[in-house]
Amino acid sequence: MVSNNINKIIYFAILFLIALIINILTSSSSYAACAKDANGSIKIETGDTTPFADSSTPTTFDQDACQEEPDEYKLTFHKIALCPEIEDPYTNGASPDYSGCVNILNEEKEVIIKPNVDTDLLSGGLEIPLGTYTIIAVIVDNHLHIKTKQKYVLKNGNDATLKGSSGGAGGTWCWSKAAVTIYSGDSSLDTDNDYETAQDGVNVVESGTGSDARLDCGDEPSASDIGFATEIIDNINDPTHHPISGAYQFGNSIDYNDNSDLTGLSGSLLGANLLKSDNATIAANEDQARRIAGFFKYPNTPIKITEDTNSFKLQLSTSESVSIDMAVDGSNVIWGAKMGADPFSIKVITSESN
């Protein structure tokens, strides 16, 4: 007879996979997908500071940035856990409590994710107690890395000319280069030695026109020309600056908000904290912010682990996780300012044997 204690845990002799899905699940930015032509080139309008159009209004060029899917998205996981509803680890404005959750991953693991390519996250099997879980909680490093290239056309269909970090004549393609920028947009942090030391000794740079362009632009680049751009998510307050005074405002929590219109799952919610590098304590300022703790709650479509469950996959959406930022100088030249990395969203897909 099989022990009842053994029956309480299901053992998976499978790889734990991360896979990309096509639709956007969530984004930290209010910008929408870029309007494109039939060949996938992003449309732009020259002559003003808002050269982009939203894909939902493709003839209205009123955006100074828009969102796209990267060719590669690199991030470092520190924790992935499943949690039942009554053991919700999230607390708004306070350190999370994961004591009631089941760890799937509880160590540092760097992965590079590409569209439509499964990426192994664990090399061995999983042991998950039978039960119903409504929350998947993750902790990732707040340094998000993206690598991508993109072609641009004018709204009349002709090739566009944009300029980048190498200057020169520019061209119709722009691509990511190695540079560290920040989500908060605090212009003082690029000269703040304490901040750069706290953020793992990085060299933070500003982005903009001329020598501040962090993308390069020209003819279509080779793979070796394209580098990983790094975006530090050091603030999840929106807006990060007071709309009237302009004063900087630090935020370390996003309370649960409905994102069912993005996930397609009724009642789905998203919450987040910024944590210290101990993976446990909520950050008090941007220097301390070294981890993003994400909480993806699906109360109406819970994750069920039964005796018949035979596969477990995370679907991770990065479909619009690149914010393409351009800057326009006084001569109406469009410069590749930067490609900022926005956070992703996750949901779990399981299947059962027949």
Condensed to tens digits (0 to 9), the pLDDT of residues 199-216 reads 999 998 888 888 899 999
Mean pLDDT score of the chain: 82
Do 234 and 289 form a contact (C-beta atoms < 8 A)? yes
Rounded to whole angstroms, how far apart are CA atoms 179 and 228?
8
Query: Where is 345: in which H helix or E strand?
Result: strand 345-352
Show contacts of 168-173: CB within 8 Å, 24+ apart. 168/218, 169/218, 170/217, 170/218, 170/333, 171/217, 171/218, 171/219, 172/41, 172/219, 173/149, 173/217, 173/218, 173/219, 173/220, 173/221
The pLDDT assigned to 21 comes to 28
* Confidence (pTM): 0.85
Closest CA to 159 of 214, 217, 213, 225: 217
Per-residue pLDDT, averaged over 5-24, amounts to 30
Q: Which 3-state string (H, E, C) describes 110-143?
A: EEEECCCCCEEEECCCEEEECEEECEEEEEEECE
- The 10s digit of each residue's pLDDT in 70-90 is 888 888 999 999 999 999 999
- The 10s digit of each residue's pLDDT in 248-275 is 788 999 999 887 766 667 888 989 999 9
Question: Terminus-to-terminus CA distance in the chain, angstroms?
Answer: 23
Per-residue pLDDT, averaged over 310-330, amounts to 76
Rounded to whole angstroms, how far apart are CA atoms 64 and 107?
38
How many other C-beta atoms lie within 10 A of the C-beta of residue 127? 12
The encoded tokens of residue 9 equal 């845990």
Per-residue pLDDT, averaged over 183-199, amounts to 84
Which residues does 5 contact at the CB level (< 8 Å), separation at least 6?
none
The pLDDT assigned to 29 comes to 40
> Exposure pattern of 9-46 as b/e (b: 16+ CB <10 Å)?
ebebeebbbbbbbeebbbbbbebbbbbbeeeebbbbbe
- 36 pLDDT more than 90: yes
Backbone angles phi, psi at 17, to 5 degrees: -115, 145
Backbone angles phi, psi at 261, to 5 degrees: -70, -20
Closest CA to 147 of 222, 226, 69, 217: 226
Split at pLDDT 50, 70, 90, the class of 7 is very low
- 100 pLDDT more than 80: yes
Range name among 26-30, 74-78, 295-299, 328-332 with the lowest pLDDT average: 26-30
Do 283 and 275 form a contact (C-beta atoms < 8 A)? yes
Do 240 and 268 form a contact (C-beta atoms < 8 A)? no
Work out whether strand 143-147 and strand 229-232 pair parallel, antiparallel, or are unpaired: antiparallel
- 282 pLDDT more than 90: yes
The pLDDT assigned to 28 comes to 36
Split at pLDDT 50, 70, 90, the class of 285 is very high
The pLDDT assigned to 353 comes to 63
The encoded tokens of residue 229 equal 């751009």
Cross-strand pairs, 135: 83, 297
The pLDDT assigned to 70 comes to 86
Work out whether strand 42-44 and strand 149-154 pair parallel, antiparallel, or are unpaired: parallel
Please give the share of the chain, as a percent, with pLDDT higher than 70: 85
- 347 pLDDT more than 90: no
- The 10s digit of each residue's pLDDT in 143-159 is 999 999 999 999 999 99
Do 122 and 169 form a contact (C-beta atoms < 8 A)? no
> Is the pLDDT higher at 5 or at 345?
345
The encoded tokens of residue 27 equal 């984004």
